[in-house]
Amino acid sequence: MCGIFGIVSRKDINIGKIALEGIKRLEYRGYDSCGIVTQYDSKLFVKKDAGKIDVIHKKLKLDEFPNESKLALAHTRWATHGAPTKINSHPHLDCNDKIAVIHNGILENFIELREELLSKGHIFKSETDTEIIPHLIEDNLKTNGDLKIAVANAIKKCIGAYGLAICHADYPDTIIAVRRESPLIIGIEDGKTTYCASDIPAFLPYTNKCYILEDDEMAILKAGTVEFYDVNNISVPKQKEIQKIDWSIKAAEKGGYKHFMLKEIYEEPTALRQTMKISNDSLKDFAETLLSAERIYITAAGTSFYAALAGKFIITKFLGKYIQAIECSEFKIELENSLEENSIIIAISQSGETIDLIEAIRWAKESKQRVKVLSITNIVGSTITRHSDKVLITQAGPEIGVAATKTFVTQILAQSLVALEIAKLIRTESNDEIQKYYNALYSTPKVIENFLEKNIDLIKYIVRSLEKNLNFFFLARGISIATAKEGGLKLKEVACRFIEGYSAAHAKHGPISLVREGYPIIFIAPPDNTYERLIGNLMEFKSRGGKIISLVVKEDKKIADLSDITIRIPQPGDKYHTLFSPITFIPALQLLAYYAALEHNLDPDKPLNLAKTVTVH
Ligand code: AGP
């Protein structure tokens, strides 16, 4: 939700160009409008407009600012308060065009603050909540001349979520960054340049050394140095530990692929192999905690929730305890009167910043019950990690495509590794059996590689054959309902088609009435203990004229024989491999969504109305 990039440098660089490249790398966070402000000679230079960055750049030349300028703030917006128009684009300025602010988040008390400021004579140009902030700072500067104090006083009046970067025309070498609930990372090239950004890839081409700003911390960025303060005690600087990020910039670039989404699907084997390296100690720690729990919940949003649905099946198989899956936005409402003592929550999030998830786990931890949170995320130092008792970091690398792909498979893998660790601890299965499950799990990258090598033409053919069908179903039973739901979500997101992942058994209680001659239904059919029943469901649709497309394992015969088109996943159909089928089957559906988006001339990396990190309720 909105991307922030700030840079202050002593190097001889084109500051506009770097700011432009910075927000390009953050465009997955929102692309309704964008803007850049640079500062030179006690003046601010602003260019902003509504639309995607490339279009605005063509129009406004976002890389052309005064050569001498060494400080810039840049913003790419996902609109909340105020339509995506030029006037509502960031940066926002004060009455005298001296203070510029870019913001990611939402101020909840902006109406009251706006009225207060209007009564003092401030003039507002936009409908945004953000515009409050430069005016609040302006107001505070009148009573004390110190920018740092004015910013601290201003934000103390704000209720809500914010990652903010602020500059002032009369402070030639200073950016002030401050956060609450919205991510903000400070990158540093010692003695030369300092950056702030909503996400690491924005400055990754220049440095992998960074500080992760915590809630209510303020950073004062100068060229090549940074000081940190607690917003509530800004007289004494505080020490923070620098972190080294081991992502390579190549991972955050398209590298010859047309889109990030396609590249990230092809990166799934590597992402899985990297995630297999999660340390045994952390897996054991997770497993022991789950074994000690009286009650276990699993919660997440979107794709991460579907990964949770798959993971819940796999963990339960070995743990032998029920795990209740609840969407994070409903977590508090569902459990308000029934959260039990000694409960464990497994929280899953690619970004680690989804606000509904953070709110759910914060609520649970602050309750009287002694609840522990085990989280799985792809982002080191993200907000979720600070609210968790134990954390597993998936190693998918940066995921830039708004539609989650490689993080989905790594989230299921991480849960599977925990499940097998549980199996080792409770010893209800023999070592030999457990090893067979491990072997199957370790073979998942190869299965995906083999699939990607040989099936692209088939997927493109299916996309073309489905061209006229604006809606259809992915049907499945058991664990594969998670795969079906995730496949449906991908098609909705990137191809703008209402394709629903649904229970094959439940479909006859309503959705079957949509079926006419030639109506397509895609069955997700790994040979698990639901297979025979799924054949029955398939026949219910086939006998009504449904066109059956099936996703099966390589040696499948029964369902393949009943299907009009078959996609074969090159894996054995034994129970070991079948358990992990959500990992190996999903690439087919992700590719279906990707090519369907291309067929409709849509940009799969930037689905309409979406943003990668959802930091609003
Ligand atoms: C995935 O393709 C979506 N963009 C979205 O549903 C996403 O999975 C959801 O917002 C959760 O995000 P998180 O994993 O970062 O918490």
- Ligand 1 atom with the smallest distance to the CA of 612 is 4
Residue with tokens 């003695």: 191
**Could you tell me the CA-to-CA distances from 402 to 2, 21, 31, 122, 608 in Å, in that order?**
13, 18, 11, 38, 10
* 483 domain-assigned: yes
Residues in the chain, overall count: 617
Residue nearest to atom 16 of ligand 1 (CA): 349
The DSSP element (H or E) to which 271 belongs, if any, is: helix 268-275
Q: Kindly tell me if the per-residue pLDDT of 78 is higher than 80.
A: yes
Residue nearest to atom 9 of ligand 1 (CA): 302
Q: Kindly tell me if the per-residue pLDDT of 380 is higher than 70.
A: yes
Tokens of 162: 């914010």
- Distance, CA 353 to ligand 1 centroid (Å)? 10
Side chain identity at 573, as an amino acid letter?
A: G
Helix intervals (H) in 393-443: 406-426, 431-442
Residue 298: which of 344, 341, 366 has the closest Cα? 344
Does one domain contain both 38 and 125?
Answer: yes
* 63 domain-assigned: yes
- Distance, CA 236 to ligand 1 centroid (Å)? 38
- pLDDT of 79 reads 81
- Distance, CA 307 to ligand 1 centroid (Å)? 11
* 56 domain-assigned: yes
Chain-centroid distance of CA 463 in Å reads 26
Decide if 297 contacts 345 (C-beta within 8 A): yes
- Ligand 1 atom with the smallest distance to the CA of 402 is 4
Residue nearest to atom 5 of ligand 1 (CA): 302
* 131 domain-assigned: yes
The percent of residues above 70 in pLDDT, for the chain, comes to: 100
* Phi, psi of 576, deg, nearest 5: -70, -50
Q: What's the chain's average pLDDT?
A: 93
- Ligand 1 atom with the smallest distance to the CA of 411 is 14
Lay out the sheet containing 547-553: strands in order across: 498-503, 471-476, 520-524, 547-553, 565-569
Helix (H, G, I), strand (E, B) or coil at 82: coil
Helix (H, G, I), strand (E, B) or coil at 383: helix
- Distance, CA 157 to ligand 1 centroid (Å)? 31
The catalytic residues are 2, 612
The percent of residues above 90 in pLDDT, for the chain, comes to: 82
- pLDDT of 206 reads 95
Compute the average pLDDT of residues 111-120. Answer: 95
Residues 6+ apart with CB under 8 A from 142: none
Does one domain contain both 376 and 233?
Answer: no
pLDDT tens for residues 320-345?
999 999 999 999 999 988 888 889 99
Does one domain contain both 107 and 142?
Answer: yes
Query: Bridge-partner residues for 75, per DSSP?
Result: 4, 35
Compute the average pLDDT of residues 189-195. Answer: 94
pLDDT tens for residues 285-326?
999 999 999 999 999 999 999 999 999 999 999 999 999 999
| Domain's final residue, options 211, 233, 252 | 252
Q: Kindly tell me if the per-residue pLDDT of 246 is higher than 90.
A: no
| Domain's final residue, options 442, 468, 484 | 442
- Distance, CA 404 to ligand 1 centroid (Å)? 6
Q: What is the CATH number for 153?
A: 3.60.20.10
* 616 domain-assigned: no
Chain-centroid distance of CA 130 in Å reads 23
Compute the average pLDDT of residues 442-446. Answer: 98
Residue 474: which of 408, 405, 543, 521 has the closest Cα? 521
Does one domain contain both 226 and 367?
Answer: no
Residue nearest to atom 2 of ligand 1 (CA): 403
Helix (H, G, I), strand (E, B) or coil at 139: helix
| Domain's final residue, options 252, 276, 305 | 252
Residues 6+ apart with CB under 8 A from 453: none
Tokens of 209: 């050394």
Dist CA 604 CA 345 (whole Å): 33
Tokens of 251: 């991972």
Decide if 393 contacts 380 (C-beta within 8 A): yes
Does one domain contain both 567 and 483?
Answer: yes
- Ligand 1 atom with the smallest distance to the CA of 489 is 2
- pLDDT of 470 reads 67
Dist CA 140 CA 152 (whole Å): 9
Neighbours of 149 (CB within 10 A): 15
Q: Kindly tell me if the per-residue pLDDT of 420 is higher than 90.
A: yes
Phi-psi region of 23 (alpha: psi -120 to 50; beta: other; left: phi over 0): alpha
- Distance, CA 65 to ligand 1 centroid (Å)? 36
> Which residues lie with the beta carbon below 6 Å from any ligand 1 atom?
301-304, 349-351, 354, 357, 402-404, 493, 610, 613-614
Best probe residue, ligand 1, of 181, 198, 351 (max atoms within 8 Å of C-beta): 351
Best probe residue, ligand 1, of 78, 259, 303 (max atoms within 8 Å of C-beta): 303
Residue 34: which of 43, 24, 44, 605 has the closest Cα? 24
Does one domain contain both 155 and 8?
Answer: yes
Higher pLDDT, 368 or 49: 49
Best probe residue, ligand 1, of 78, 409, 614 (max atoms within 8 Å of C-beta): 614
Does one domain contain both 53 and 192?
Answer: yes
DSSP 28: G
Decide if 535 contacts 562 (C-beta within 8 A): yes
- Distance, CA 565 to ligand 1 centroid (Å)? 31
Query: How many domains is the chain partitioned into structurally?
Result: 3
Does one domain contain both 543 and 577?
Answer: yes
HEC per residue, 164-224: EEEEECCCCCCEEEEEEECCCEEEEECCCEEEEECCHHHCCCCCCEEEECCCCEEEEEECC
- Distance, CA 613 to ligand 1 centroid (Å)? 7
Query: Bridge-partner residues for 473, per DSSP?
Result: 500, 521
Does one domain contain both 425 and 289?
Answer: yes
DSSP secondary structure letters along 582-613: HHHHHHHHHHHHHHHHHHTT--TTS-TT--SS
The per-residue b/e assignment along 97-134, b for 16 or more CB within 10 angstroms, e otherwise, is ebbbbbbbbbbeebeebbebbeeeebeeebebbbbbbb
pLDDT tens for residues 133-152?
999 999 999 988 899 999 99
Best probe residue, ligand 1, of 304, 348, 392 (max atoms within 8 Å of C-beta): 304
Lay out the sheet containing 175-180: strands in order across: 92-93, 99-107, 160-168, 175-180, 217-222, 225-230, 233-238
pLDDT tens for residues 470-521?
678 899 999 999 999 999 999 999 998 888 899 999 998 988 888 888 899 9
Does one domain contain both 108 and 215?
Answer: yes
- Ligand 1 atom with the smallest distance to the CA of 493 is 2
Domain that holds residue 483: 454-605
Residue nearest to atom 6 of ligand 1 (CA): 302
Query: Bridge-partner residues for 219, per DSSP?
Result: 177, 228
- Distance, CA 603 to ligand 1 centroid (Å)? 18
Q: Kindly tell me if the per-residue pLDDT of 353 is higher than 80.
A: yes
Does one domain contain both 154 and 287?
Answer: no
Tokens of 468: 């006229």
- pLDDT of 122 reads 96
Tokens of 137: 């700072």
Side chain identity at 21, as an amino acid letter?
A: E
* 36 domain-assigned: yes
Best probe residue, ligand 1, of 354, 400, 493 (max atoms within 8 Å of C-beta): 354
* 448 domain-assigned: no
Residue nearest to atom 7 of ligand 1 (CA): 302
- Ligand 1 atom with the smallest distance to the CA of 301 is 11
pLDDT tens for residues 58-70?
999 999 999 999 9
* 79 domain-assigned: yes
Q: What is the CATH number for 378?
A: 3.40.50.10490
Does one domain contain both 73 and 132?
Answer: yes
Residue nearest to atom 4 of ligand 1 (CA): 403
Dist CA 488 CA 303 (whole Å): 10
